Amino acid sequence: MTFVVLFSTMSFTLNMHYCGDTLVETAIYHKAKGCGMEMEKPSTEGCSINKKNCCDDAQLAIEGQEELQLQVDKITFEQQVFIASFVYTYSNIFKGLENNVFTYEEYKPPLVIRQLYKIDETYLI
């Protein structure tokens, strides 16, 4: 239950770097480094290059839930029945396992009087 509350309230960002149409790198919580093929700006101001960059960065921001229901009095009757049956079932599921008696532990195999597999052997000549 703790993990459900933690992950439903947590916000995070997913950064992706595309080179052309291919996904090259993904990063969570920080910017993707890239593939190193980004266009560099020219060193002089008079020179300009008007080529389109083949790389593209995309960012996916996932917002978490801000408000939580912390009061128990707003739980419906069906939810109360479910919680009660869940707790009852899983508290009694392992009760009595240490008292199980296995009858085959006290069983002794019969003594071998004759070897039965040799009586029924047939040989084709």
Q: What is the pLDDT of residues 5-18, one digit of tens each?
A: 777 778 888 888 88
pLDDT in tens, 111-122: 777 777 777 777
Report pTM: 0.40
For 88, the enclosing helix (H) or strand (E) is: helix 77-91
Q: What is the sign, positive or negative, of the torsion defined by CA atoms of 71, 75, 81, 83?
A: negative
For 24, the enclosing helix (H) or strand (E) is: strand 22-28
pLDDT in tens, 91-109: 888 776 666 667 777 778 7
- Supply 59's token pair: 């960012």
For 19, the enclosing helix (H) or strand (E) is: strand 12-19
Residue 66 has pLDDT above 90, yes or no: no
